[in-house]
Amino acid sequence: MRVTVLGAGYMGSAMAKVAAMRGHEVRLWGTWLDDDLLAPAERGEKHPRLKLTLTDLQLMRAPRLAEALEGAELVVQAVNSDGAVPVMTKAAPFLPDVPVLSVTKGFLPSPAGRAGGMDRIDLVVQEAVGRPVRFVHAAGPAKAIEIARRVLTWMTFAGADARFCADALGGDHLQVGVTDDLAGAEICSALKNAYATGIGIWDGFVGRDAHNARAACFTQAIVEMRAIALAAGGRAETVHGAPGVGDLHVTAAGGRNRAFGERIGQGRPAREVAAEMLAAGELTEGYAAIQSAHRFARERGLIAEQIPLLDALQAIVWEGAAVGPTLAALRLSV
């Protein structure tokens, strides 16, 4: 099968490696921002982030988008949420009628003409490209470097073509479940970075002996994720499975979002921490995710009693509220 992966960052390169493991012909296309990632790989050196060589892939730079998509039987959309609409809009004239497996997480502003506010990526992308897209969302705990190195991973693919994508990429160490709950899976993926940041705040505020607080907020996060998913057309079992509980666990256990939260918990302004991490090449998805998730929930009628943790995160990260008093005032859904 000919597989085209759009985006040469961590996850795009990892998914391309997985596709190559399955014996597919793989084209890895980099955006106009990916040249520094592709250049070493083109010389046979290791990918700067993934730390693996990409010699088993066909590498293509931004001007070769039409060529990269020609004859594709499966497309993997792996650019970040900010790049999803620009990339898919550029790809639209060349995009064949095949499943598009998206590993992108987050909410996006609805285009003009809709009711406004934040919405799921699949809906926003389809409006932007002006035609239906056979969108499948890849959810679940899947750190890029681990799936590329054949560490046991359980993902869930959601959408009408989920089984096709699972058969193409699943197997061996990458075990893939399927669901038709596209809304629930996307919402879980969008929310987990926000809540993982919140769990990390406790480490900065109290120290590593905040086990009780982290566990309490992990549980509260699942309660709130379920409420938001149900309000937006998702299902509870998706939240309680790999897309929700599993992905939140792996994200809260370590990584950039937890580190972001820790520094905020130590009393540093969120904007300053985000800028510092960005300058170091560390994308902090949780920063924007908190604001977009809070807006998404409020626009769907969730009130303070249903999302107290998300309200607290919004107050600390985006409204400048002091960490200590805000956490002290937090009341969980007991």
Domain boundaries, the chain: 2-180, 183-328
Do the strands 107-109 and 118-120 form a parallel or antiparallel pair, or are they unpaired? antiparallel
| Confidence band of 57 (pLDDT split at 50, 70, 90) | very high
pLDDT, one tens digit per residue, over 130-175 is: 999 999 999 999 999 999 999 999 999 999 999 999 999 999 999 9
Give the pLDDT of residue 238.
98
Q: Does 283 have pLDDT greater than 80? A: no
Average pLDDT over residues 106-120: 79
Q: Calculate the average pLDDT of the chain.
A: 95
Q: Does 255 have pLDDT greater than 90? A: no
Closest Cα partner for 37 from 59, 56, 69?
Answer: 59
The CATH T-level fold of domain 2-180 is Rossmann fold (3.40.50)
Give percent of the chain above pLDDT 70: 99
pLDDT, one tens digit per residue, over 71-85 is: 999 999 999 998 999
CA distance linking residue 123 with residue 132, whole number of Å: 9
Give the pLDDT of residue 114.
52
Give the pLDDT of residue 112.
57
Integer CA distances (angstroms), 208 to 86, 213, 243, in order = 41, 10, 26
Q: Does 256 have pLDDT greater than 90? A: no
Which of 11-15, 146-150, 204-208 has the lowest average pLDDT?
A: 204-208
Please state, as a whole number, how many other Cβ atoms lie within 10 Å of the Cβ of residue 131: 9
Q: Report yes or no: 210 and 203 within 8 Å, Cβ to Cβ.
A: yes
Average pLDDT over residues 117-122: 94
Is CATH 1.10.3720.10 the right assignment for the domain spanning 183-328? no
The DSSP 8-state label assigned to residue 320 in this structure reads -
Give the pLDDT of residue 201.
95
Give the pLDDT of residue 302.
96
Q: Does 113 have pLDDT greater than 50? A: no
3-class secondary structure for 158-174?
A: ECCCHHHHHHHHCECCE
| Confidence band of 282 (pLDDT split at 50, 70, 90) | confident
Q: Does 111 have pLDDT greater than 90? A: no
pLDDT, one tens digit per residue, over 285-316 is: 889 999 999 999 999 999 999 999 999 999 99
